[in-house]
Amino acid sequence: MDKKYVSQAVLQNILQHTDIGIHVIDENRRTIVYNKVMAQLEGLKAEQVLQRDLLDIFPSLNEDTSTLIKVLNTEKPIIDKTQTYINYKGQKITTVNSTIPLFWEEKIVGALEIAKDITYLKRLSDQLMDLQRELKCNNHGKYRSKNRIKNYTFSDIIGKDENMIKAIEIGKRASNSPSTVLLYGETGTGKELFAQSIHYEGIRKNRPFIAQNCAAIPEPLLEGILFGTDKGGFTGAIEREGIFEQANGGTLLLDEINSMSWELQSKLLRVLQEGYIRRIGGIKDILVDVKIIATTNEEPLESVKKGTLRKDLYYRLNVVYIDIPPLRDRRDDIPILCDYFIHKYNPLLGKSVIGIKDDIIQYFYQYSWPGNVRELENSIESAMNYAPDNRRYLQREDFISCHNIFKDEDIFNLNTLNMERPLPEYLEEMEKDIINRTLEENKYNISKTAKKLGIKRQTLQHKIKKYNSRAK
């Protein structure tokens, strides 16, 4: 079989079976490829479009508004542009499009457009925005609600550790200044708690507090959520204010700032420097006064080095920097936090627990707490659910679903030692376990782990190889 036919068959199949819409025009603006998905998106049939001039099929478009023609003229690609339009069947569709010029021997021969349907996601994000607005209206301009979600203040942040007290002090000072705050802490260390405390204990407490996770929303929609959209933007676009406008006078918490795209980070920087926003498709500059609190669960300078956080934005955000230590670096806070959560859950669960048995606290001290305070809180809530109503001190059997904390139980508990195995094998298992645990506690950094274990780097590397352990 001629190889040319095989590659044509492969191409045909890819075009017709992908879930991405594909539209190609030649240098005379005539459609030469129009796949099934594109036909469905635009509500047309391939035979209505193929071999015809683009502007005959889409009379509402012109040289400026058609991305395919624009790319043909400018010979420059347009990447990841969100478009909302009413298609030929009257359906409202939102797509993310990329349009690319096609060259043959350095001469432009056409343009290719690929479109991804995100209508469903767009609908969800619009609903989210409307709900947020509704919530704001129902509060009659007062954003501090009485019986809705609890608003945290600094008295809700529990901890006596020196670095924790330092972080709280910086937070308190930050609450009375308009400066941006950069919060760094692993998951579950209390970043949201800090952000809310800074807002609700500060001068902006009667203005809105809006939180947005930058990692949870697909990139093309995030820009609209932040800055809003205007009618002029594209056919069918709705006028909608973004969260910068909704949070005006208040605080905007931008979670996981390092997941935001490079381009959007640069737009955010411009807004922070200039103090006004422009809705997508809008022509008006709208002044906004918003205090920004950005969070990240990766060391910010590490993110800058890796290229996930722009250096210029980092400097702009880093006016006040708060580093919340992980729980394993402040183990003396564990008993105080346990006490706090027991008292929090007693009335909620109808229990009268007084404390936790000592042997459990010992496990708590040696565990690495990758989920930090959230993990500790969840463990206690879970144990209090399992405990019988008359339980005074939580004990091992109550923590039935907390396997991680007790994963070393059998190895380290000499009472349950299985002496059927030879001692060297048993000791090796212990060694492997201690190494793995210390590696995990030190984020797989070999130098730090070796130092903690009191052995040479080379010795550790040798053992890592032997036990097949994870290392950076």
Ligand X SMILES: Nc1ncnc2c1ncn2[C@@H]1O[C@H](COP(=O)(O)OP(=O)(O)OP(=O)(O)O)[C@@H](O)[C@H]1O
What residues line the site for ligand X (CB under 6 A)? 157-159, 185, 187-193, 297, 373-374, 377
**β 209-213/251-255 pair status:** parallel
Burial class (CB in 10 A: 0-12, 13-18, 19+), 181: buried
Among positions 152-211, residues that touch Mg ion (CB under 5 A) are 191-192
Please, which residue, 101 or 190, has the CB nearer to Mg ion?
Answer: 190
Pick from Mg ion, ligand X, none: which does 157 bind, CB < 5 to 8 A by kind? ligand X
φ, ψ (nearest 5 deg) of residue 251: -125, 140
- 193 contact, one of Mg ion, ligand X, none, CB 5-8 Å limit per kind: ligand X
Give the shortest CB-206-to-Mg ion separation in angstroms.
23
**Closest CB 295 distance from ligand X, rounded Å:** 7
Q: Which long-range contacts (CB under 8 A, 24 or more apart) does 442-448 make?
A: 443/472, 444/470, 444/471, 444/472, 445/472, 446/471, 446/472
Using the minimum distance from each CB to ligand X, give the nearer residue, 15 or 158: 158
Cα Rg of the chain (Å, integer):
29
Task: Give the nearest distance from C-beta 158 to ligand X in angstroms.
Answer: 4
Closest CB to Mg ion among 164 and 384? 164
Q: Which amino acid is at 231?
A: K
- Residue 158's binding partner among Mg ion, ligand X, none (Cβ under 5 to 8 angstroms by kind) is ligand X
**279, 230 contact by CB (below 8 A):** yes
Least CB distance from residue 187 to ligand X, whole Å?
4
Q: What is the C-alpha separation between 132 and 226, in angstroms, rounded? A: 13
What gap in Å lies between CA 230 and CA 245, rounded to an integer? 13
3-state secondary structure at position 2: coil
| Least distance CB 338 / ligand X (angstroms) | 11
- Residue 125 has phi, psi (to 5 degrees) of -70, -35
Question: Which amino acid is it at 40?
Answer: Q
Between residues 192 and 245, which has the closer beta carbon with respect to ligand X? 192
CB of 117 to ligand X, least distance (A): 30
Residue facing ligand X at closest CB distance? 190
CB of 174 to Mg ion, least distance (A): 17
What does 228 interact with, of Mg ion, ligand X, none (CB < 5 to 8 A by kind)?
none
Residue nearest to Mg ion (CB): 192
Nearer to Mg ion, 26 or 192 (CB): 192
**How far is the C-alpha of 74 from the C-alpha of 103, rounded, in Å?**
13
Of residues 112 and 183, the one with the C-beta less far from Mg ion: 183
Q: Which residues bind Mg ion (CB under 5 A)?
A: 191-192
